Amino acid sequence: MISENEKIAKIKFNKYNSDLVDDIESQLKIDLCDRSNFIALSNTNGLNIKFPAFVLKECDYFTSVHGVVTIQINSNNETLVDNEFVSSGSNIENEVLEATRGWMQNEYRKRLVYLISWDSLTKPTQIENKLKETLFAVKSYSDSIAISKFKKKVAELNLSEIKTLKDKFDFKVGFRGYKMPTPPPPPPESKDIE
């Protein structure tokens, strides 16, 4: 649940990397190096969606993030979900749900970050749709835990049950505030010398 006094930032998907960070910081009136967690608002197909968010900003210190489901969207609307390719125009909900189940197999893991990144030419509507599909997958996973524990879906839980659920599974949607370096190419194939 989101508290009433929580500051909210509207995510503008036409922004990219440091411009996105600057915009969020301006809305929240904070430095995301000091406080990188906040509540995000996205308007997707006329529906306002609030969700817990996190910005991975380049700061003077190293921030270690564990339990990260990476979602990378390119301008062709092709997506990598935890390094699994999803073709253009395909819904990523099943892949995100599968990645979530895989990460949550560790009995000690209680939280995940869904780190969404896109290239500068990706259309904002494509990013919004991938975010919506990601949140549907998270809801589906949360509902499965709620049903197994309480025999009802998340929307039907009381405050005490929601707190119990958050002890089992919690999430944030993350955004990158800087360009990640591209990995080096694989080494050339070795040729046998005779």
Is residue 149 scored above 90 in pLDDT?
yes
Element (H, E) at 47: strand 47-56
Q: Residue 59 domain-assigned?
A: yes
**Tokens 């990460």, located at residue:** 103
Cβ(174)–Cβ(65) below 8 Å:
yes
Looking at the domain assignment, is residue 40 inside a domain? yes
pLDDT value of residue 191: 61
Pairing of strands 111-118, 37-44: unpaired
The least confident of 21-35, 43-57, 108-122 is 43-57
Which amino acid is located at 173 in the chain? V
Q: If residue 97 lies in a helix (H) or strand (E), which one and from where to where?
A: helix 93-103
CB atoms near residue 58 (< 10 Å):
14
Task: Count Cα atoms within 13 angstroms, Cβ side, for 78.
Answer: 5
Domain holding 42, by residue range, is: 8-176
pLDDT band for position 26 (cuts 50, 70, 90): very high
Q: What local confidence, expressed as pLDDT, does residue 180 receive?
A: 46
149 HSE (CA, 13 A, CB side): 20
CB 168 within 8 A of CB 148: no
Query: Is residue 93, in this structure, part of any structural domain at all?
Result: yes
Going by pLDDT thresholds of 50, 70 and 90, the confidence category of residue 186 is low
Q: What is the pLDDT of residues 68-83, one digit of tens each?
A: 999 999 999 999 999 9
Is residue 45 predicted with pLDDT exceeding 80?
Answer: no
182 belongs to a structural domain: no
Q: How far, in Å, CA of 123 to CA of 118, rounded?
A: 9
Check residues 1 and 96 and name the one with the higher pLDDT.
Answer: 96
Alpha-carbon distances of 138 from 88, 115, 117, 118, 151, rounded to whole Å: 21, 13, 18, 20, 18
> Is the pLDDT higher at 65 or at 133?
133
When divided into structural domains, the chain yields a total of 1
CA 123 – CA 76 distance, rounded (Å): 9
